[in-house]
Amino acid sequence: MWLFDEWAERHIQQAQKKGEFDNLPGYGKPLQLDDDSTVPEELRVGYRLLKNAGYLPAELQDRQEALQLADLLRGITEDDSRHQAISARLRLLEFKLCQAGVSTEFLRRGYQQQLQTHFDRRQNTK
Protein backbone atom coordinates (compact mmCIF):
# COMPACT_ATOMS: atom_id res chain seq x y z
CA MET A 1 0.00 0.00 0.00
CA TRP A 2 2.89 2.37 0.67
CA LEU A 3 3.76 2.42 -3.07
CA PHE A 4 0.27 3.68 -3.93
CA ASP A 5 0.48 6.29 -1.14
CA GLU A 6 3.81 7.53 -2.47
CA TRP A 7 2.48 7.72 -6.02
CA ALA A 8 -0.64 9.62 -4.93
CA GLU A 9 1.38 12.05 -2.78
CA ARG A 10 3.73 12.79 -5.69
CA HIS A 11 0.80 13.56 -8.01
CA ILE A 12 -0.80 15.82 -5.40
CA GLN A 13 2.44 17.77 -4.95
CA GLN A 14 2.83 18.18 -8.72
CA ALA A 15 -0.74 19.45 -9.02
CA GLN A 16 -0.13 21.92 -6.16
CA LYS A 17 2.99 23.26 -7.89
CA LYS A 18 1.02 23.74 -11.12
CA GLY A 19 -1.69 25.61 -9.19
CA GLU A 20 -4.43 23.16 -10.10
CA PHE A 21 -6.00 23.48 -6.64
CA ASP A 22 -6.03 27.30 -6.58
CA ASN A 23 -9.48 27.87 -8.10
CA LEU A 24 -11.41 25.17 -6.27
CA PRO A 25 -14.60 26.13 -4.39
CA GLY A 26 -13.78 27.06 -0.80
CA TYR A 27 -10.12 27.81 -1.54
CA GLY A 28 -8.55 29.68 1.37
CA LYS A 29 -11.52 29.05 3.68
CA PRO A 30 -11.46 26.79 6.74
CA LEU A 31 -12.80 23.29 6.28
CA GLN A 32 -16.27 22.55 7.62
CA LEU A 33 -15.69 19.23 9.35
CA ASP A 34 -18.64 17.11 10.44
CA ASP A 35 -18.86 15.82 13.98
CA ASP A 36 -18.79 12.08 13.47
CA SER A 37 -17.54 11.24 16.93
CA THR A 38 -20.63 9.14 17.69
CA VAL A 39 -20.17 7.01 14.56
CA PRO A 40 -18.00 3.93 15.11
CA GLU A 41 -14.56 4.47 13.58
CA GLU A 42 -14.85 1.54 11.18
CA LEU A 43 -18.07 3.01 9.70
CA ARG A 44 -17.00 6.66 9.33
CA VAL A 45 -15.53 6.43 5.83
CA GLY A 46 -18.54 4.55 4.50
CA TYR A 47 -20.99 6.96 6.13
CA ARG A 48 -19.07 9.95 4.75
CA LEU A 49 -19.20 8.48 1.24
CA LEU A 50 -22.94 7.90 1.55
CA LYS A 51 -23.48 11.40 2.90
CA ASN A 52 -21.48 12.99 0.07
CA ALA A 53 -23.64 11.03 -2.37
CA GLY A 54 -26.76 12.56 -0.81
CA TYR A 55 -27.79 9.51 1.21
CA LEU A 56 -27.95 9.46 4.98
CA PRO A 57 -28.02 6.03 6.70
CA ALA A 58 -31.10 5.22 8.77
CA GLU A 59 -29.18 5.42 12.06
CA LEU A 60 -27.94 8.91 11.28
CA GLN A 61 -31.40 10.03 10.18
CA ASP A 62 -32.75 8.74 13.49
CA ARG A 63 -29.94 10.50 15.36
CA GLN A 64 -30.70 13.76 13.58
CA GLU A 65 -34.42 13.46 14.37
CA ALA A 66 -33.66 12.60 18.01
CA LEU A 67 -31.55 15.75 18.36
CA GLN A 68 -34.36 17.85 16.88
CA LEU A 69 -36.91 16.29 19.25
CA ALA A 70 -34.63 16.82 22.25
CA ASP A 71 -34.33 20.49 21.28
CA LEU A 72 -38.11 20.74 20.98
CA LEU A 73 -38.58 19.20 24.42
CA ARG A 74 -36.19 21.71 25.95
CA GLY A 75 -38.31 24.50 24.52
CA ILE A 76 -41.70 23.39 25.88
CA THR A 77 -43.09 22.64 29.31
CA GLU A 78 -44.41 19.27 30.49
CA ASP A 79 -48.00 20.52 30.50
CA ASP A 80 -47.78 21.37 26.79
CA SER A 81 -50.09 19.12 24.74
CA ARG A 82 -47.21 18.08 22.45
CA HIS A 83 -44.84 17.04 25.24
CA GLN A 84 -46.11 13.48 25.67
CA ALA A 85 -46.09 12.65 21.94
CA ILE A 86 -42.62 14.14 21.43
CA SER A 87 -41.26 12.30 24.48
CA ALA A 88 -42.69 9.00 23.25
CA ARG A 89 -41.18 9.48 19.78
CA LEU A 90 -37.82 10.39 21.32
CA ARG A 91 -37.85 7.27 23.52
CA LEU A 92 -38.65 5.13 20.46
CA LEU A 93 -35.80 6.66 18.49
CA GLU A 94 -33.43 6.21 21.41
CA PHE A 95 -34.42 2.55 21.64
CA LYS A 96 -33.88 2.05 17.89
CA LEU A 97 -30.46 3.70 18.09
CA CYS A 98 -29.43 1.52 21.02
CA GLN A 99 -30.53 -1.59 19.12
CA ALA A 100 -28.44 -0.47 16.14
CA GLY A 101 -25.42 -0.12 18.43
CA VAL A 102 -25.33 3.68 18.28
CA SER A 103 -24.54 5.48 21.53
CA THR A 104 -27.28 7.86 22.70
CA GLU A 105 -25.00 9.86 24.97
CA PHE A 106 -25.36 12.82 22.60
CA LEU A 107 -28.90 13.26 23.97
CA ARG A 108 -27.65 13.75 27.52
CA ARG A 109 -24.83 16.22 26.97
CA GLY A 110 -26.96 19.19 28.01
CA TYR A 111 -28.16 17.38 31.11
CA GLN A 112 -24.63 16.33 31.96
CA GLN A 113 -23.50 19.96 31.71
CA GLN A 114 -26.34 21.09 34.01
CA LEU A 115 -25.37 18.48 36.58
CA GLN A 116 -21.72 19.47 36.40
CA THR A 117 -22.60 23.15 36.89
CA HIS A 118 -24.83 22.28 39.85
CA PHE A 119 -22.14 20.21 41.55
CA ASP A 120 -19.47 22.82 40.83
CA ARG A 121 -21.61 25.50 42.51
CA ARG A 122 -22.23 23.21 45.45
CA GLN A 123 -18.52 22.51 45.79
CA ASN A 124 -17.69 26.22 45.72
CA THR A 125 -20.17 27.05 48.53
CA LYS A 126 -18.53 24.61 50.95
Q: CA-to-CA distance for 13 and 21, rounded, in angstroms?
A: 10
pLDDT, tens digit, for every residue of 58-99? 887 888 899 899 888 888 888 999 999 999 999 999 999 888
Query: Where do the structural domains in the chain lie, given as residue ranges?
Result: 58-119
- Residue 28: pLDDT over 70: yes
**Where does 1-126 show beta strands of DSSP type E?**
none
User: What's the average model confidence in pLDDT over 91-118?
Assistant: 79
This prediction's pTM: 0.49
- Reported confidence tier of residue 1, pLDDT bands at 50, 70, 90: low
Q: Give buried/exposed letters for 92-105 (b at 16+ CB in 10 A, else e).
A: ebbebbeeeebebe
110 Cβ contact list (under 8 Å, min separation 6)? 70, 74
Phi then psi dihedrals of residue 104, to 5 deg: -105, 20
Of residues 10 and 38, which shows the higher confidence score? 10
